[in-house]
Structure 1
C-alpha cells in the first residue's frame, strides 16, 4: 500500500537500542566516534562537496537524520520528518557538519570529555579539522599544483543508531563518494534523484530500518521460548569472574585513549606467529590482557578472569525488504573466561594455550546453535535492566530512594568482568583504499563517551599496521593501576608476540 508523504515517520526503539539510549540521556554515555587521519587536496574536502556527500548518506541511512522522543520507559521512538526539498536535505546536512581547528588529540578529548556533541535532536555529525600542509611527495604523487594537506575527521553517532560495522562502512562510503570523479554538480543531481525517490512522490509508509529484535528469527512456539529462557539462564550462571580493577570515586570522569601502532613488518611477524599457533590476533589479545593483568595484580589466583566482547549478529538477521540501510545496531555480547593464576615457568606456552582457549570460546559463542535465542534473551535482559536503572536514576533526581538489593542478587557467585575488548579485525577489508585515490588514510582511532570507571581495549589492523588502544577513565581507578596494566600489555606484546 502506498500513501502520500506523511509529515513524520516513527518506530519504537527495540530492547538493544533502548539499552543504549537510556544511559545516554544525561551526558552522552556510549556516543561513538570514529577518528580518521588522512591527506587530501582542499578541493576534495570543499564544504559544498562534503555537504552533498553527507546529505546523500543521511538520505540512504535515515536513522542518522532522525530525532528521538521518549514518551515512557517502554515507549521511546525514532522520529523522521521528511525533507520538503533537496535544498532542505542539504541544509540539514550542513547543520551537522562542523569545521574546527585542532589536533587529533584535541578533537578526541573535546568529544570524550567536553560538553556532549550529540543529542536527541542530533544523532550524528561530522567534525573536520585541517592541520597542516603535507609535503611527502614520495607517498602522495602530485598531479597538479594544489598542495595536499593533513586532515582529521570525526564521524560521530549515538550507539543506539548503529555499531562499529556501520561506522566503518559509512566512512568507506563517505571517502569513496568524496574521491569520485563526479563534480559537485553531478552529486547534486544524484541527491535530487534520491530525494525524489524518497520524498518527491508516493512511497511506502514503512521507511525506517527495523530493530535488531524484529530482524532476528522469531520463536516457533511456547516450548521453544521456555527452553530458550532456561538455556540463557544456565549459560549466564556458568560465568565466573573474580578479578576487576580497583576503582576510586570523587573526581570527574576523564577518558584517555593511549594508542600504539606496530609498523607493517612487525605486524606481519605477529600475524605469521599467530597463524603458526592456529589463532587470530583477536584471540591472542584476550590472552595478552589475562597475562598483563596477572603481572599487574593477582590477589585472587583461585578465581578466573573474565573478559567480554561484542558479538556481530548481522549474519543471523532476516532481510529488511523495505530498507537496505546498514545503519542499525546488531550486536550482542559474549564472555571469555581464563585462569586467574600465572605459572612461574613457561609463560609462553601458557600464553598460547590460553589464546587457543579464547579462540575456542569465541567460536563457540558465535556458532552456538542457541546464539539467536540467547541474543534475544540478552537483549531483553539488557533492555529491562536499562529501564529499571533509568527509573531509579530519575527517581533519585527527584528524591525517591532506590530499593535495597535483594538477598538473591547479593548472594550470587562472583561474576565481575575485568575488561571489555572491542576486536575489529582487519579493517582494510572494509576500507577499499583503491576506491578513493584522492584520499590517503593513515590513522584510525575509535571509541565512545564513557561512564565513570569504564574501560575498553581496542585491537584492529588498518593500513597494514596492528593498532591497540585503551580507552579508560583515568580518574575512575586506583592511582597507577591502569598505567601499570597498559605497560604490561605492551611488554607482553613485545615478549610473547
Structure 2
C-alpha cells in the first residue's frame, strides 16, 4: 500500500518561479517561539474506515500535490534575515512531476496507532521546520491474520495533517481536510487527478508573481479611519479593555525538566449529544458558552479558595468575516486569521441550594461577553493593536532567547490611561471552541471514507494548557491538552474530573 508513486520528471522543466512576502505581526508572534522546539505546531488527526483501493499512496500523493499547488504556503519555507525581516518564500515546482516529488517528500506512511502518532508529534522531536511547514502522515495497523478478505473490505486508517501555526489556523486545517477527503474519496480517477495536477501546475506558473501568496491578517483587515482623534480613541479603548482583564486564578505549577503533553478526550454518543445541544438551545446559549460555565464551576469545585477574585479564561476569535478579499491575489484560505478575547466570570458558588441556576446564568454571561467581543465596533482597531503588541513582544523575547541586546519595542503605543490600580490578570486556561465541524466536513462528498474520530491540538510550551470542544460525526467531543509535568498533578486531575461531572450534572440531566 505504501509503494512510492510513479514520478516522471520533465528534464527540460528546470526553471522555478519564486514568490515571497514578509510575515505579518501575528505570524511573527507564532513563528519566533516555534524556532527551537516547534511550539504551537498544529496537528489534525482524523480516524476513518475506507477501502484500501482508494487510499493507495499514489492517489494520496496526487491529491496532496494538487492541494499544495492551490495553497502555496503549505509548500513554502521561511527565511529569517533579522527580527524585522522574516519572509515566506515559495518556489513553484517547474513541472507536475516535480510537484509530485515534493509532495511525496512531505508524506509518510506509518504503522502506528492514533495514540502513538499524536504522542510522537506532541512530545517527540519536531516534525516540522523552517524548510518544512506542512507534513502529511497516513497510518494503519496491519492485520497479521491469514484470513482472506474481499476486494471491497475496509480498514481503519489514521491521518495526521501537520502545519505550523504561523501558516494558518484551525479553520484552515478543517477546510483543508474536507477538501482533501472530498478529492480523495470522490469520483475522480487517477488519470483525472493527474490532469488536474497538470492544470494546477500550469495555472501556478501563469499567475505566480510577487503577490501570489495569501496576505497576512494585518494586510487583509480594513484600514482604520485616518485622523488623530480616531487614533487616540482607539488607543484609549484598547488600553481600557486591557485594564478590565481581571483574573485571580491559575493552576498551581511545578518545575520539570521535560514537557510532556497529554490529551485526555471524551466523546458523547449522538443521542446524548443531541440532548445536550437541545438543552443549551432551550436555555438560549450555545455549547461553547456552556463549556465556559462548565470550566468555571469545575474550577470552583476544585479550588475552594480566593473566591473573591474572578476567573478569567481566554479564547480565539475567528476574524475571517472581517477580512477584505482581493481576487488579484491567491484566494487560498491558508492564512492565520484569529483575534483574541477573554471571558471573566465570578468564582464563588452558592453555599447552599441548587447550583444549576448559577451555572446557566454564567453560561449566558459567557455568551454575552463573546457576542460583545465579536460585535464591538472597535474590534478591527483592537485587532490591529493587539497584533502590533504581540509581534513586538515576540521580537523582544526572541532577542532575549538569542542573547541579543534589546532595543526599544517597535509599534507599541505609550500608556495614556493613568490612575488605574494594577489588578491581577492571571488566566486560568484557554478554550478552543470549534463549534459544529459537521458544517465544514461534507461527508456525503466522500461516501466510501467513513470519518469517525477527530482530535486536534498543537505542540505546547512547558506549562501549556488548552481545552477543546466541538461536535463531529454527530458527537460532542471534549479534549484537554496539558503539560502533565508542568502542573500539580492532583489539582489538574481533580479539575478534569469535575469538568466531566459538571457536564453530567448540568447538561445531561
**TM interval, short-chain normalised:** over 0.9
Task: Provide TM-score, normalisation by structure 1.
Answer: 0.93
> What's the CA shift for 1:203?
4.7
Extract unaligned runs of 5+ from structure 1: 134-142
- For 1:350, the equivalent position in structure 2 comes to 358
Counterpart contact for 2:39–2:459, Cα < 8 Å: yes
- For the pair 1:255 / 2:249, whether they are aligned, the reply is no
Counterpart contact for 2:17–2:208, Cα < 8 Å: no
Choose the corresponding residue for 1:178, options 174, 179, 184: 184
> What's the CA shift for 1:7?
4.0
Counterpart contact for 2:20–2:210, Cα < 8 Å: no
- For 1:268, the equivalent position in structure 2 comes to 274
Specify the SS of the correspondent of 1:434.
helix
> What's the CA shift for 1:144?
6.8
- For 1:324, the equivalent position in structure 2 comes to 331
My pick for the range that moved more, 33-42 or 181-190, is 181-190
Output the CA distance in 2 between the equivalents of 1:120 and 1:276. 48
- For the pair 1:12 / 2:17, whether they are aligned, the reply is no
**Aligned ranges for residues 145-160 of structure 1 at < 5 Å?**
145-160=151-166
- For 1:430, the equivalent position in structure 2 comes to 440
Output the CA distance in 1 between the equivalents of 2:400 and 2:227. 32
Count of aligned positions: 477
Output the CA distance in 2 between the equivalents of 1:333 and 1:202. 34
| Residue-by-residue CA offset, 1:359-418 (whole Å, 9 max, x unaligned) | 0000000111111111111111111111111111111xx8x7999xxxx9xx83210100
- For the pair 1:371 / 2:376, whether they are aligned, the reply is no
- For the pair 1:472 / 2:459, whether they are aligned, the reply is no
- For 1:461, the equivalent position in structure 2 comes to 471
Specify the SS of the correspondent of 1:424.
strand
Specify the SS of the correspondent of 1:261.
strand
**Aligned ranges for residues 278-317 of structure 1 at < 5 Å?**
278-317=284-323
Choose the corresponding residue for 1:119, options 129, 132, 139: 129
CA RMSD of aligned residues (A): 2.0
Counterpart contact for 1:16–1:379, Cα < 8 Å: yes
Specify the SS of the correspondent of 2:36.
helix
- For the pair 1:341 / 2:351, whether they are aligned, the reply is no
Choose the corresponding residue for 2:73, options 63, 66, 71: 63
Counterpart contact for 1:162–1:327, Cα < 8 Å: yes
Choose the corresponding residue for 1:168, options 166, 174, 189: 174
Choose the corresponding residue for 1:33, options 20, 40, 43: 43
Counterpart contact for 1:312–1:331, Cα < 8 Å: yes
- For 2:5, the equivalent position in structure 1 comes to none
Output the CA distance in 2 between the equivalents of 1:241 and 1:33. 30
Output the CA distance in 2 between the equivalents of 1:205 and 1:447. 33
- For the pair 1:213 / 2:213, whether they are aligned, the reply is no
Output the CA distance in 1 between the equivalents of 2:207 and 2:302. 63
Output the CA distance in 2 between the equivalents of 1:18 and 1:256. 27
| Residue-by-residue CA offset, 1:166-212 (whole Å, 9 max, x unaligned) | 0000000000000121111110011001101112x465442000000
Choose the corresponding residue for 1:382, options 390, 394, 398: 390
Output the CA distance in 2 between the equivalents of 1:37 and 1:373. 40
| Residue-by-residue CA offset, 1:48-90 (whole Å, 9 max, x unaligned) | 1001100011000011000000111111100001211110000
Output the CA distance in 1 between the equivalents of 2:407 and 2:203. 51
Sort the Cα spacing of 1:367 and 1:327 in 2 relative to 1 into closer, same or farther, 3 A.
same
Sort the Cα spacing of 1:494 and 1:374 in 2 relative to 1 into closer, same or farther, 3 A.
same
> What's the CA shift for 1:222?
3.2
Extract unaligned runs of 5+ from structure 2: 1-14, 144-148, 409-417
- For 1:107, the equivalent position in structure 2 comes to 117
- For 2:3, the equivalent position in structure 1 comes to none
Counterpart contact for 1:444–1:462, Cα < 8 Å: yes
Counterpart contact for 1:271–1:281, Cα < 8 Å: yes
| Residue-by-residue CA offset, 1:222-259 (whole Å, 9 max, x unaligned) | 32223212211111111100000011112310000000
Output the CA distance in 2 between the equivalents of 1:485 and 1:81. 48
